[in-house]
């Protein structure tokens, strides 16, 4: 019955969306659909040609990797057989302020995977609360894993995930792993799908320069329907982009939910320092530590150390998402602020590594991240200015264009293997506009950071003048950049 109800809800949603597009088309003059007319619908889309072309390149590269290149790599990895087996596997799980039901589900999946993978495995639990330790020990006793599976606890203060990872890496170092050992870093709200270890470890033997790889994500959202669809859309887009970047072996983030590294990487003191105490020297805001974004720090460290990164699309994990707010608007903005801040803080110094290290395509993608916040706002800004100057029909033309193109983009996501829903076209546009505004805001406030689960913020203990200068210079630069953007568009239109 639940499946039938969900199917009816999806069908109703698609019907309402298509009906709204048709109604909007009926209200517009016929000249809009005449290719000879100056009002022709596609003329408006010309302003986004290069932005759409970047998306098209990612999409085609992603499909090529997913359906052609990766199956070839998988066959090559299988031919290696036992030669690709690691000497030892470490499963490092970091848990803090996660409900008991989720913690039990995660550790049950980790213990089951450790038992089923067939390799000598050590489960390293980086935890804060005594209650988590008691829960894990109880699970361990009931599941009774084989002798080759060991358990190790690391108790830390609740000072953040970076400290939890660093203490876990040092605990693994004390086991003296050899060059053939691998380490999977798993978040405390991530359940492993069966076989994920065996699907990932052969690629370290197949690609000797790969220092870390990450996996495909699916999610269960403890929130509203819109919040659930928002997360699922993000994971579908992530899948395509990861596949695109894996074609160059330059995946741009070692996802904190689950990534796998060579043991010699995570035991490298330089790598541990990058994850534990990463920081940025900013020309205006001064030096500040990174509170969040350990996945970006680990990626940058791998690039700096000369390693490649990879993505395994058929190795899946299932995450439990707990929105930080009940309101979708508040929760999505909070999450965007954290994600985009992590991205932008790493962007400039990653570009500093240069195309010779990153490759030309990766450098182009990083440059595009810096300008996409403005190009995403170009279309709606032009449409609003044109509708004020020339007539309301221009805004309606733009809305129809958005409705049609977002429908096409949604249907294209079907090739990712993730499900799509009728809310996706609207959420895509919401992400474009609100996401761009959040990026502009955070770009001038890179020092402002906060966790959504831990409720902690970065305290820099700045002098009163420095705090005043940072606050007002950020506001002034945001206002100036926005004013220049609007002025240029007014002049052009």
Q: What CATH number has the domain bearing residue 184?
A: 3.90.550.10
For the segment 468-478, what is each residue's pLDDT rounded down to a tens digit?
Answer: 888 899 899 99
CA-based nearest residue to 434, from 346, 331, 365, 348 = 331
Same domain flag for 388 and 242: no
Same domain flag for 218 and 297: yes
Q: Is residue 313 part of a domain?
A: yes
Same domain flag for 112 and 253: yes
Lowest-confidence segment of 38-47, 262-271, 458-467 by average pLDDT: 38-47
Q: Is residue 75 part of a domain?
A: no
CA-based nearest residue to 282, from 447, 47, 112, 460 = 447
Task: Grade residue 33 by pLDDT with cuts at 50, 70 and 90.
Answer: low
Q: At what angle do helices 424-443 and 393-412 cross, to 10 degrees?
A: 100
| Overall number of domains in the chain | 2
Task: Grade residue 111 by pLDDT with cuts at 50, 70 and 90.
Answer: very high
For the segment 262-272, what is each residue's pLDDT rounded down to a tens digit?
Answer: 999 999 999 99
Same domain flag for 302 and 166: yes
Q: What per-residue confidence (pLDDT) applies to 34?
A: 59
d(CA 111, CA 57): 40
Same domain flag for 119 and 164: yes
Domain extent, residue 481, equals 1-51+369-492
Residue 35 has pLDDT above 60, yes or no: no
Same domain flag for 120 and 18: no
For the segment 283-342, what is each residue's pLDDT rounded down to a tens digit?
Answer: 888 888 888 888 899 999 999 999 999 999 999 999 988 888 889 999 999 999 999 988
Residue 36 has pLDDT above 70, yes or no: no
Same domain flag for 158 and 217: yes
Residue 214 has pLDDT above 50, yes or no: yes
Residue 378 has pLDDT above 90, yes or no: no
Lowest-confidence segment of 47-56, 140-149, 422-431 by average pLDDT: 47-56
Q: Is residue 364 part of a domain?
A: no
Task: Grade residue 48 by pLDDT with cuts at 50, 70 and 90.
Answer: low
Q: Is residue 26 part of a domain?
A: yes
Q: Is residue 74 part of a domain?
A: no
Name the percent of the chain lying above pLDDT 90: 54
**Where is the domain boundary, 357, 386, 420?**
357
Q: Is residue 363 part of a domain?
A: no
Lowest-confidence segment of 15-29, 95-109, 475-489 by average pLDDT: 15-29
Same domain flag for 320 and 254: yes
Same domain flag for 304 and 345: yes
CA-based nearest residue to 236, from 412, 71, 30 = 412
Residue 38 has pLDDT above 80, yes or no: no
CA-based nearest residue to 165, from 94, 254, 89, 267 = 94
Q: What per-residue confidence (pLDDT) applies to 459?
A: 63
For the segment 340-358, what is each residue's pLDDT rounded down to a tens digit?
Answer: 988 988 887 888 889 999 9
Residue 40 has pLDDT above 70, yes or no: no
Q: What per-residue confidence (pLDDT) applies to 453?
A: 60
Residue 51 has pLDDT above 50, yes or no: yes
> What's the whole-number average pLDDT of the chain?
88
Same domain flag for 242 and 305: yes
Q: Is residue 73 part of a domain?
A: no
Same domain flag for 425 and 342: no
Q: What is the 3-state secondary structure (H, E, C) of the chain?
A: CHHHHHHHHHHHHHHHHHHHHHHHHHHCCHHHHCCCCCCCHHHHHHHHHHHHHHHHHHHHHHHHHHHHHHHHHHHHHHHHHHHHCCCCEEEEEECCCCCHHHHHHHHHHHHHHHHHCCCCEEEEEEECCHHHHHHHHHHHHHHCCCCCEEEEEEECCCCCHHHHHHHHHHHHHCCCCCCCCEEEEEECCEEECCCHHHHHCHHHHHCCCEEEEEEEEEEEECCCHHHHHHHHHHHHHHHHHHHHHHCCCCCCCCCCCEEEEEHHHHCCHHHHHHHHCCEEEECCCEEEECCCCHHHHHHHHHHHHCCEEEEEEEEEEEEEECCCCCCHHHHHHHHHHHHHHHHHHHHHHHHCCCHHHHCHHHHHHHHHHHHHHHHHHHHHHHHHHHHHHHCCHHHHHHHHHHHHHHHHHHHHHHHHCCCCCCCHHHHHHHHHHHHHHHHHHHHCCCCCCECCCCCCECCCCCCHHHHHHHHHHHHHHHHHHHHHHHHHHHHHC
Residue 241 has pLDDT above 90, yes or no: yes
Q: Is residue 71 part of a domain?
A: no
Task: Grade residue 24 by pLDDT with cuts at 50, 70 and 90.
Answer: confident
**Where is the domain boundary, 332, 357, 382?**
357
For the segment 69-100, what is each residue's pLDDT rounded down to a tens digit?
Answer: 999 999 999 999 999 999 999 999 998 878 88
Same domain flag for 295 and 373: no
CA-based nearest residue to 306, from 277, 280, 268, 273 = 268
**Where is the domain boundary, 357, 389, 411?**
357
d(CA 345, CA 443): 8
Non-local (6+) Cβ contacts of 174 within 8 A are none
For the segment 383-420, what is each residue's pLDDT rounded down to a tens digit?
Answer: 888 888 877 877 888 888 889 889 999 999 998 888 88
């Amino acid at each position: 019955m639940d499946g039938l109800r969900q199917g009816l809800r999806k069908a109703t949603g698609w019907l309402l969306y298509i009906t709204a597009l048709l109604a909007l088309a009926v209200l517009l003059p016929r000249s809009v659909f005449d290719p000879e007319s100056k009002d022709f619908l596609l003329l408006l889309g010309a302003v986004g040609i290069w932005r759409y072309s970047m998306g098209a390149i990612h999409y085609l590269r992603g499909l090529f990797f997913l359906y052609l290149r990766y199956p070839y790599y998988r066959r090559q990895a299988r031919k290696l057989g036992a030669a690709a087996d690691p000497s030892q596997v470490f499963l490092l799980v970091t848990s803090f302020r996660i409900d008991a039901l989720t913690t039990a589900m995660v550790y049950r999946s980790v213990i089951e995977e450790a038992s089923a993978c067939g390799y000598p495995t050590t489960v390293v639990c980086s935890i804060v609360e005594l209650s988590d330790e008691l829960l894990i020990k109880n699970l361990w006793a009931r599941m009774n894993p084989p002798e080759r599976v060991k358990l190790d606890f690391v108790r830390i203060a609740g000072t953040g995930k970076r400290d939890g990872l660093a203490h876990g890496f040092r605990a693994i170092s004390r086991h003296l792993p050899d060059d053939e050992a691998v380490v999977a870093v798993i978040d405390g709200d991530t359940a492993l799908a069966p076989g994920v270890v065996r699907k990932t470890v052969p690629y370290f033997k197949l690609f000797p320069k790969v220092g870390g790889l990450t996996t495909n994500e699916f999610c269960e959202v403890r929130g509203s329907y819109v919040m659930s669809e928002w997360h699922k859309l993000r994971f579908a887009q992530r899948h395509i982009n990861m596949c695109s970047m894996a074609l160059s072996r330059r995946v741009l983030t070692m996802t904190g939910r689950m990534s796998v590294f060579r043991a010699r990487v995570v035991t490298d003191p330089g790598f541990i320092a990058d994850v534990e105490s990463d920081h940025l020297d900013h020309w205006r805001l001064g030096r500040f530590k990174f509170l969040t974004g350990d996945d970006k720090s680990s990626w940058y460290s791998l690039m700096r150390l000369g390693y490649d990164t990879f993505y395994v699309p058929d190795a899946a994990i299932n995450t439990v998402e707990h929105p930080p707010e009940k309101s979708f608007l508040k929760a999505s903005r909070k999450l965007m602020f954290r994600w985009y801040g992590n991205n932008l803080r790493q962007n400039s110094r990653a570009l500093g590594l240069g195309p010779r290290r990153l490759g030309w395509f990766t450098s182009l993608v990083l440059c595009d991240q810096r300008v996409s916040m403005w190009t995403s706002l170009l279309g709606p800004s032009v449409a609003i200015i044109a509708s004020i100057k020339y007539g309301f029909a221009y805004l309606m033309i733009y809305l129809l264009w958005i409705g049609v193109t977002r429908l096409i983009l949604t249907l294209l996501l079907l090739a990712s293997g993730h499900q799509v829903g009728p809310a996706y076209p609207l959420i895509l546009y919401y992400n474009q506009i609100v996401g761009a505004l959040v990026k502009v805001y955070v770009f001038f406030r890179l020092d402002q950071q906060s966790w959504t689960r831990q409720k902690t913020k970065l305290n820099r203990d700045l002098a009163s003048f420095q705090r005043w200068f940072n606050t007002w210079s950020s506001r002034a630069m945001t206002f100036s950049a926005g004013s220049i953007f609007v002025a240029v568009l007014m002049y052009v239109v």
